[in-house]
Structures are given as C-alpha cells and as structure tokens.
Amino acid sequence: MKKLYKSKSDKKLCGVCSGIAHYFQLDPTLIRLAWVVFTLLGGSGIIAYIIAAIIMPDDEIL
C-alpha cells in the first residue's frame, strides 16, 4: 500500500512537494511550480502547505 510522506532527502522547506511528487511518480519541480501557481492565483496555497507540513508524517527511508 502506497503512503504519502514528507521527503527528508529532497526538500526545500519541509519536503511536502517532494513527498507528493514521489507519491504520484512525478518530478518534484513540477509539483513546486504548480504549488507556486496555486498560491499566486488563489492565495490558499500557503495555508494548504502549512497544513500538509503538519499532517504528513516524515519519510522513514533516508
């Protein structure tokens, strides 16, 4: 079963975007760019990132 984790090895802030990219098998840069666009257009991306950083567990594998 696949689980969603924050990445410890490829993180810029908290590893949320890298964890999401790994879960969906995408490039982390694409997720980061989408997150920036989402934040600039709607403004709720920052709140969503903070919530995800709090809720998502850390990756056990280094």
Domain around 24:
16-55
Does a structural domain hold residue 51? yes
Does a structural domain hold residue 39? yes
Helix, strand, or coil here: 13? coil
How many domains are there within the chain? 1
Query: Would the pTM of this model clear 0.85, i.e. be above it?
Result: no
Residue pair 3/55 in contact (Cβ under 8 Å)? The answer is: no
H helix count then E strand count, the chain: 3, 0
Does a structural domain hold residue 9? no
Residue pair 58/16 in contact (Cβ under 8 Å)? The answer is: no
Does a structural domain hold residue 48? yes
Encode pLDDT of 8-62 as tens digits. Answer: 777 778 888 888 888 899 999 998 898 888 888 877 778 888 888 898 888 776 5
- pLDDT in the model for residue 53: 87
The whole-angstrom separation of Cα 5 and Cα 39 is 21
